[in-house]
Amino acid sequence: MRISGGYRPKIPGRPSGIVEEPPIPRRLIIRLHRDGLKYRPVIHDGQSVEFGEVLAETAVPGATLALPSPAAGKAMLEEEQLVLEQIRPDITPLKTYQPERITRGETVAALARGGVWPLFWSSATRGMPELGEDRKPRVIVLNVVMTEPFRARGKVILRRSWSRIIQGLKFLPRLLEDYGTLEIVLTAVRDPVARMMYSDLAGFAWIHFRPIPLRYPAENPRVLVQALRRSIPGLQKDSTIWVIDVQAAEAVGGCLAEGLPLHQRLIAAGGPGCAHPRHLAVRIGTPVSSFAPESPEIATLCGGLFRGDRVDPARAAVQYNDDAYFFLPEGSARQFLAFLRPGFDRTSYLPCFAGRLTGAADRRLTTFLRGERRPCITCGLCEKVCPARIMPQVLHRYLYRQALAEAERAGLELCVDCNLCTFVCPSKIELQKQFGEARQALLMERAEAERTK
């Protein structure tokens, strides 16, 4: 499949393929917010809970979503979060199912109760799929490619939990439309992991493989869906496509075949501020401080470099949908005559620094803006990297003079929030923020129009 635009920068601190499994910490912290939904606790303060017991739930049309307990222990209610103490590490499986005997309704209910359902992404809602019967997907995409520096790599997870993932895949036909297909998106590299997948899945006629270039933001569901629609001719414009990643497939297998609700996440801990970049398999709720560098000179981003948000490592904990913590040194020293140096220690999107000649990684990446704010010089870099094939520089021009309608016409809503334009902008314009606010304004305008109608 082809994807347009995109960029894969060389960033130091790529996590190694080894997966560390630290012991379960004494305290686990569960937030009562997930994917924009607020969960209501169903246990009382100080109650002792079993592994997999529902801690909190929220009602959505068609079912109830739950946060299952990642471990047995004593639950304390706090503001907007729930703390598990006196942890016992033992795991007792809940009810198991067999793919041939389970109905769609049972599948959906079990996944919703096991905390797995919100890991699915649907093109119809551009978020978690609806739970009702009506919108079955024509295609489910299993995405193995993770290009954002640095999120948990699909192949590391595949190597670790291949049998559970296969178990999970066998349940997917329950959710698909009749004659629906599973498209496995991976890089074309013929490495042992890819070979293993090819040979083990060769017998399934409903599973196809789709190679994709290793360029951020290939894993973005909207980018994948667009690329898929372009390369499958029979696919209707409005047919629903779901996207899951490898960890979600593993969670499906664990939840249904082994009776284990979502209790563990594989996370990548990496970046230039990380002394030992690695993958970690941790219980949900594990405090970030247990694996983050202790220096105050290092910023912690939850998520990768491009989309990650700053968190306070002393308060943050690994949640149900996390898979990456990026450690970025805080900028401190101002370099003398920085723009005149050849730059063997940095690489940029354009080959403007000597680092391109030696293939060096961008070793000077910090939280500095790395330049001064300037008016747009229309260099066009944002248009080149944009995976949605829109023209951020044109949108910026429109929004600069508050021309919201023009920006809408020029594809504002096709933006997939990959943040690449903001990353490469030499004038250091906060395009992402501007576009986000404009989309908000557009939604409000529409809601207003709806109301007055």
Partner 1 sequence: MKGLKGILENLRPAFEEGGRLARLKPIFQALDHFLFAAAEKTPNPPFGRDPLDVKRYMSLVILALLPSFAAAVYFFGWRVLLMLLVSYAAGGLVEVLFAVIRKEEINEGFLVTGFIFPLILPPGIPLWLVAIGVSFGVLIGKEIFGGTGRNLFNPALVGRVFLAIGYPAALTSTWVQPLAQPWGRLLAPFGLGVPDALTSATPLGLAKSGALTGAFELFVGRTAGSAGETSALAILLGGVFLILVGVASWRTVLAVLASFVGLTAILHGLLPAAVPPVWFHLLSGGLLFGAFFMATDPVSGPVTRAGKWAFGFLIGAAAIFIRSFSGYVEGVMFAILLGNIFAPLIDEIVIRLKSRRYANER
- Residue placing its CB nearer to partner 1 in the complex, 95 or 409: 409
Tell me how far, at minimum, the Cβ of 77 lies from partner 1, in Å: 31
Is beta strand 19-20 parallel, antiparallel or unpaired with respect to 278-283?
parallel
What is the signed CA dihedral for 125, 129, 130, 135, rounded to 10 degrees? Answer: 80
- Residue placing its CB nearer to partner 1 in the complex, 100 or 450: 450
- Residue placing its CB nearer to partner 1 in the complex, 102 or 376: 376
Would you state the structure tokens that stand for residue 90, as one six-digit string? 């033992």
- Residue placing its CB nearer to partner 1 in the complex, 247 or 422: 422
Tell me how far, at minimum, the Cβ of 334 lies from partner 1, in Å: 4
Tell me how far, at minimum, the Cβ of 225 lies from partner 1, in Å: 11
Please list, in sequence order, all residues whose beta carbon lies within 8 angstroms of the beta carbon of residue 233, skipping any fewer than 6 positions away.
none
- Residue placing its CB nearer to partner 1 in the complex, 202 or 369: 369
Radius of gyration of the chain (CA): 23
Q: What is the SS3 assignment for 3?
A: coil
Tell me how far, at minimum, the Cβ of 365 lies from partner 1, in Å: 5
- Residue placing its CB nearer to partner 1 in the complex, 179 or 339: 339
Task: Reply yes or no: is the peptide bond before residue 217 cis, omega within 30 of 0.
Answer: yes
- Residue placing its CB nearer to partner 1 in the complex, 32 or 299: 299
Tell me how far, at minimum, the Cβ of 369 lies from partner 1, in Å: 5
- Residue placing its CB nearer to partner 1 in the complex, 64 or 367: 367
Q: What is the SS3 assignment for 324?
A: strand
From residue 434, give the alpha-carbon distance in Å to each of 396, 429, 431: 8, 9, 5
- Residue placing its CB nearer to partner 1 in the complex, 48 or 366: 366
CA dist., res. 303 & res. 437, Å (int):
21
Tell me how far, at minimum, the Cβ of 171 lies from partner 1, in Å: 32
Tell me how far, at minimum, the Cβ of 364 lies from partner 1, in Å: 7
Residue 401 CA from chain centroid, whole number: 33
Residue 179, judged by CB atoms within 10 A of its CB (0-12, 13-18, 19+), counts as: exposed
Tell me how far, at minimum, the Cβ of 110 lies from partner 1, in Å: 35
Residue 285 · residue 24 · CB < 8 Å: no
Tell me how far, at minimum, the Cβ of 324 lies from partner 1, in Å: 13
- Residue placing its CB nearer to partner 1 in the complex, 174 or 307: 307
Is beta strand 278-283 parallel, antiparallel or unpaired with respect to 63-68?
unpaired
Please list, in sequence order, all residues whose beta carbon lies within 8 angstroms of the beta carbon of residue 73, skipping any fewer than 6 positions away.
28, 48, 49, 84, 85, 86, 87, 88
From residue 30, give the alpha-carbon distance in Å to each of 24, 44, 78, 79: 14, 15, 10, 11
Tell me how far, at minimum, the Cβ of 178 lies from partner 1, in Å: 28
CA dist., res. 189 & res. 267, Å (int):
23
CA dist., res. 254 & res. 249, Å (int):
9
Would you state the structure tokens that stand for residue 290, as one six-digit string? 């247990």
